[in-house]
Amino acid sequence: MVKSFAPRIRFWTLALAILVGYGAIGYRLFELHIVEAPRLIVELESSRYRLIPLNSRRGDIFSYDLNGDRELFATSKTLLEVGIDPVAMKREDLVKLPQLSRHMGLDLARVETVFGARDGEFIGDETTRRDRWRLLSRRIEEEQYDRILELGISGLYGTRKYERVYPKNSLASHLIGLVRHDGEAVQGVEREFDFYLSGQRGWRESEVTAGQEMAQFRRRYVPPRDGMSLALSIDPYVQHQIELELMDIADKFDPETACIIVTDPYSGFILGLANYPTFDPNRYTDFDESAHKNRAMTDPIEPGSTFKIVAASAALEERLVSVDTYFDCSMPTLQMPSGYVAKLPKDWKPFGILTVEDIVAKSSNRGAAQLGVLVGSNGFYDYVRKFGFGEKTGLDVGIESRGILNPVRKWDGLTLTRMTMGHAISATPLQTHYAMAAIANGGLLMRSQVVSRILNTDSKEAVSFGPMVRRRVVSNQTARTMSELLVKTASEGGTASKAAIPGYQVGGKTGTAQKIINGRYSSQSHVGSFSGFFPASDPELVITVIVDGSHSGMPVSGGSAAVPAFKNVAEKLIPYYAITPVDQGRAYALGGGSH
Partner 1 sequence: MSRRNIKSRTANRILNQIILYSVAMLALIGGLGMITVWLRHQTSITANHLQSIEQKIVEERRIHAQLDVELAVAMSTDRLLELNRKHKLELQEPSFTQIVHVEENVEKRLYEKSANALFTATALSGN
Per DSSP bridges, beta strands 212-214 and 202-209 are antiparallel
Q: Which stretch binds partner 1 (CB under 8 A): 69-77, 435-443, 476-484, 512-520?
A: 69-77
346-355: long-range contacts, CB 8 A cutoff, minimum separation 24 = 352/328, 353/326, 353/327, 353/328, 353/329, 354/326, 354/327, 354/329, 355/323, 355/324, 355/325, 355/326, 355/327
Q: Any idea what DSSP says for residue 399?
A: -
Our CB check for partner 1 shows the closer of 76 and 525 to be: 76
Q: How far is the CB of 34 from partner 1 (least distance, A)?
A: 20
201 binds partner 1 (CB under 8 A): no
247 binds partner 1 (CB under 8 A): no
Instruction: State how far the Cα of 545 lies from the Cα of 241, in Å rounded to an integer.
Output: 13
Instruction: State how far the Cα of 462 lies from the Cα of 353, in Å rounded to an integer.
Output: 59
Torsions phi, psi for 82 (to 5 deg)? -105, 135
Q: How far is the CB of 181 from partner 1 (least distance, A)?
A: 17
Instruction: State how far the Cα of 589 lies from the Cα of 581, in Å rounded to an integer.
Output: 15
Length of the chain: 595
67 binds partner 1 (CB under 8 A): no
Our CB check for partner 1 shows the closer of 6 and 399 to be: 6
Of 67, 127, 216, 523, the residue at the interface with partner 1 (CB under 8 A) is 216
Our CB check for partner 1 shows the closer of 38 and 502 to be: 502
Instruction: State how far the Cα of 75 lies from the Cα of 77, in Å rounded to an integer.
Output: 7
110 binds partner 1 (CB under 8 A): no
Q: How far is the CB of 75 from partner 1 (least distance, A)?
A: 5
Of 215, 288, 349, 458, the residue at the interface with partner 1 (CB under 8 A) is 215
Q: How far is the CB of 429 from partner 1 (least distance, A)?
A: 24
Q: Any idea what DSSP says for residue 225?
A: B
Instruction: Give the DSSP per-residue string, 78-110.
Output: EEEEEEE-GGG--GGGGGGHHHHHHHHT--HHH
Our CB check for partner 1 shows the closer of 236 and 592 to be: 236
Our CB check for partner 1 shows the closer of 71 and 85 to be: 71
Of 101, 203, 572, 593, the residue at the interface with partner 1 (CB under 8 A) is 572
Our CB check for partner 1 shows the closer of 123 and 214 to be: 214
> Which residues, in sequence order, are CB contacts of 555 under 8 Å at separation 6+?
526
Of 2, 7, 319, 349, the residue at the interface with partner 1 (CB under 8 A) is 7
Segment 127 to 146, residues that bind partner 1, using CB under 8 A: 142
Our CB check for partner 1 shows the closer of 144 and 481 to be: 144
Of 421, 500, 574, 587, the residue at the interface with partner 1 (CB under 8 A) is 574
Instruction: Let me know: does 280 contact 287? Beta carbons within 8 Å.
Output: yes
From residue 136, how far is each of 66, 161, 221, 309 by CA, in Å? Answer: 45, 15, 32, 62
Instruction: Let me know: does 511 contact 306? Beta carbons within 8 Å.
Output: yes
Torsions phi, psi for 478 (to 5 deg)? -60, -40
Segment 11 to 40, residues that bind partner 1, using CB under 8 A: 11, 14-15, 18
240 binds partner 1 (CB under 8 A): yes
Instruction: Give the DSSP per-residue string, 233-290.
Output: S--HHHHHHHHHHHHHHHHHH--SEEEEEEE-TTT-BEEEEEEES---GGGGGGS-GG
456 binds partner 1 (CB under 8 A): no
Of 28, 33, 48, 77, the residue at the interface with partner 1 (CB under 8 A) is 77
**If you count DSSP H runs as helices and E runs as strands, how many of each does the chain have, helices first?**
18, 24
Q: How far is the CB of 214 from partner 1 (least distance, A)?
A: 7
Per DSSP bridges, beta strands 270-276 and 257-263 are antiparallel
Our CB check for partner 1 shows the closer of 514 and 568 to be: 568
Of 181, 581, 590, 591, the residue at the interface with partner 1 (CB under 8 A) is 581
- Site size for partner 1 (CB under 8 A): 37
Segment 158 to 187, residues that bind partner 1, using CB under 8 A: 160, 165, 167-169, 171
Of 120, 376, 394, 503, the residue at the interface with partner 1 (CB under 8 A) is 503
Q: In the complex, which residues of this chain contact partner 1 (CB under 8 A)? A: 3-4, 7-8, 10-11, 14-15, 18, 57, 71-72, 75-78, 142, 160, 165, 167-169, 171, 213-216, 218, 236, 240, 501, 503, 571-572, 574-575, 581
